[in-house]
Every structure is written in structure tokens, then in C-alpha cells.
Amino acid sequence: MPGKKAGSKSRRILGIDPGLASSGWGVVEFSDGRLRHIAHGCVNTDKEKSRSERLSFIYTSILEIAKTHKPSEAAMEKLYFGRNVSSAMLVAEARGVLLLALNMLELDLKEFTPNEIKKAVVGVSRAEKNQIQEMVRFILGLKEIPKPDHAADALGAAICAAHETLLK
């Protein structure tokens, strides 16, 4: 790329926070030790549609997002089983189609637990949601906290992937 130092490698990372109703996504670029916000948003599905239609929409949407923003790798939050197993199963289905899409795109995927993402973004693994959102805003130099919160979580996963290589 013009203006790049010889040997510097730019990485574009697609972060994903999976969910059936809403899958957050965020794209950051990591170059020369600096992070830059590219874009973020959510893939929201219509609850009136069948589950298979909703999953198909998530799949085609993430393919389109990747086509638009051309990531070189991806990061996604690992599935966390809390008290509500039935909602975790729906998230698992969304994760499945997202994993398929990322595989079809031949993107290297890094997966992180919620605590790993919190630690990478805030510095502590027990951070509150508002702390994570504020640090995502600060790290990426945004004027406002990214909305909705699923998009902020996805950006957090992308930040975690970028930080992981700094720690090696």
C-alpha cells in the first residue's frame, strides 16, 4: 500500500458477537501497533420469520459484510452457557452459521471467552458492560459508545484479537 513502511503488516479484523435476534459485528484495522475503527453494526433478524430463515439471513448478511469490508481474519466470542440453556442453544445455532460463513470466506478465526475479551479491552476479567463499551470507544477514538451493545461487544472481540498478537 502506498505510504506504508516496508515490512509493516496491516490486519483487518472482523469481530462478531453472535446471536439469533441480533448478531453484532465490528471491523477494525490493526497496523503499526495502532487500531483504527472501520465500521460496526448489527444483523437483526425478524422474529416473525422461521428460525431457518433467520439463520440464513445471518449467514448471507455476514458474507455481504465481509465482501464490503474485506477482513483478513475474524474474532468471535465463545459460547457462554449461563442459566438460560434454551437461549444458549439459539446462540449456538447462530454461531454455527457464522462459523460456516467464516470458513467459506477462508478467514482465520480466533475465539475468546467473555472474560478474555474483558481483560483485553478493560484490563480486568470482571469488567461491567458499560466499562467495556467505554473502553471500546476510547481505544478506537470514537466520539460515542458504539451502538447497539452487540456491536460494541463485537468490536471488543476484534480488539482482543489485535491485542493477542501483541502479547506473543
Contact 23, 162 (CB under 8 A): no
Reply yes or no on whether 77 is catalytic. yes
Kindly name the residue from 29, 77, 116, 153 that is annotated as catalytic: 77
Judge whether 1 lies within some domain.
no
pLDDT at 8: 56
Judge whether 4 lies within some domain.
no
Kindly name the residue from 40, 73, 116, 150 that is annotated as catalytic: 150
CATH assignment at residue 38: 3.30.420.10
Low-confidence ranges of the chain (pLDDT < 50): 1-7, 167-168
Judge whether 27 lies within some domain.
yes
Please enumerate in sequence order all residues whose Cβ is within 8 A of that of 48, keeping only pairs 6 or more positions apart, or say none.
Answer: none
Q: Which domain holds residue 62?
A: 11-166
pLDDT at 117: 94
Reply yes or no on whether 128 is catalytic. no
90-101 burial, b for 16+ CB within 10 Å, e for fewer? Answer: bbebbbebbbeb
Reply yes or no on whether 32 is catalytic. no
Burial class, 150, CB count within 10 angstroms (exposed 0-12 / middle 13-18 / buried 19+) = buried
For the chain, the domain total comes to 1
Judge whether 6 lies within some domain.
no
Judge whether 88 lies within some domain.
yes
Kindly name the residue from 17, 29, 116, 153 that is annotated as catalytic: 17
Judge whether 76 lies within some domain.
yes
**Residue reference for cell 459485528:** 25
**H-helix or E-strand spanning residue 138:** helix 129-139
Judge whether 3 lies within some domain.
no
